[in-house]
Amino acid sequence: MRRDTIFYKLFKQFPLLLFELVDEPPPEAENYQFESVEVKETAFRIDGVFLPPANAVSKTVFFAEVQFQKDEDLYHRFFSELFLFLYRHSIRYDDWFGVIIFGSRSLEPSNSMIHRALLESGQVRRVYLDELGDLRQQPLGLGLMLLTNVTSETEAVEGARFLLEQARQQSEQAIIDLVTTIIVYKFSTLSREEIAAMLGLNLEEPRAIREAEALGEQKGIVKGQEIGREEEARSLILKLLNRKVGAIPDQLQTQIQVLSLEQLEGLGEALLDFSAIADLEGWLQGQPRG
């Protein structure tokens, strides 16, 4: 499941959600702008940067990192990205705060001694989703976060149904779309009709349910279930990218030409969330080079 994509959608749609995890949010929290920022000189990409409005009294920039797998280099990378960003934009901000969201406490790096001064400074908040309690007892936004962390299929469906009902009562169409997107990722082998029936949805209700069929089709094609050769899969991905983000520069086409079938599968899934060439560039930079 691509949780980084889900959280990108969450923060992009509801930037205030991050500040529900912060003890003392800034007074201008509702005007912050969320971005996923690449520091080009090092190919670093920060999961989420929350930028204060131009007229903010205290220009505090917030950094968010979402982690659902063990990564012993996480803190090295996070603080390197954070301080490099501040170095590149030193005249724009006068303070910073970091929020690191883990699926569970066990996913933290084993040795945090070298970063203890930063982690215990009061400028960093570590959040463990599995310790926040029942998603039914949380605000809708936090409930969505917790839904991404549910591993039991039964609990995921029950939690999704609950959040959908709450979203309907509050006329939150964006929440309905995001709940459905999470379930689409969790149950990627199910058809559009099966997902709709499982959640008790009208087929036309959320945009994500309409995309589920396309997602399944792309994944099936890229896996070779509908085509037999890697080059045909590559050709299809390029056509889909052209439709999604426009003409692909030669340099990026060259990088796509050397992707493995497994990487093409990942690109076929990721491109559903692309809106610009920069999204493709960022995705390609995150791929290992042969």
Q: Work out the percent of the chain whose per-residue pLDDT is above 70.
A: 84
CB 243 within 8 A of CB 214: no
Name the phi and psi angles at 233, rounded to 5: -65, -40
Digit-coded pLDDT (tens) for 240-250: 888 888 888 88
pLDDT at 120: 93
Give the whole-angstrom CA distance, residue 188 versus residue 81: 33
- Which sign, positive or negative, has the C-alpha torsion 278, 279, 284, 285? positive
| DSSP letter for each residue of the chain | --HHHHHHHHHHH-THHHHTT-SS--TTGGG-EEEEEEETTTTEEEEEEEEPPTT-SS-EEEEEEEE-S--TTHHHHHHHHHHHHHHHTTTT-SEEEEEEEESSGGGS-S--GGGHHHHTSSSEEEEEGGGS--GGGS-HHHHHHHHHT---HHHHHHHHHHHHHHHHHTT-HHHHHHHHHHHHHHTTTS-HHHHHHHHT--TTS-HHHHHHHHHHHHHHHHTTSS-S-HHHHHHHHHHHHHHHH-PPPHHHHHHHHT--HHHHHHHHHHGGG--SHHHHHHHHHTSPP-
Higher local confidence (pLDDT), 213 or 87: 87
Percent of the chain exceeding pLDDT 90 equals: 26
Predicted local distance difference test score (pLDDT) of residue 179 = 87
190: pLDDT strictly greater than 60: yes
- Residue 41 in this model has a pLDDT that exceeds 50: no
User: What are the tens digits of pLDDT across the range 203-229?
Assistant: 555 455 555 555 555 555 444 444 455
Residue 199: the pLDDT is 84
Q: 44 - beta bridge partners?
A: 39
Cα separation, 72 vs 96, in Å, equals 23
- Of residues 131, 177, 183, the one with CA closest to residue 153: 183
Chosen CATH of 1-131 out of 3.30.450, 3.40.1350, 3.30.379, 3.30.200: 3.40.1350
List the domain boundaries for the chain: 1-131, 133-210, 223-285
CA 240 – CA 93 distance, rounded (Å): 39
70 pLDDT more than 80? yes
- Residue 275: its pLDDT value, please? 81
pLDDT at 64: 92
With 0.75 as the threshold, say if the pTM is over it: no
pLDDT value of residue 171 = 83
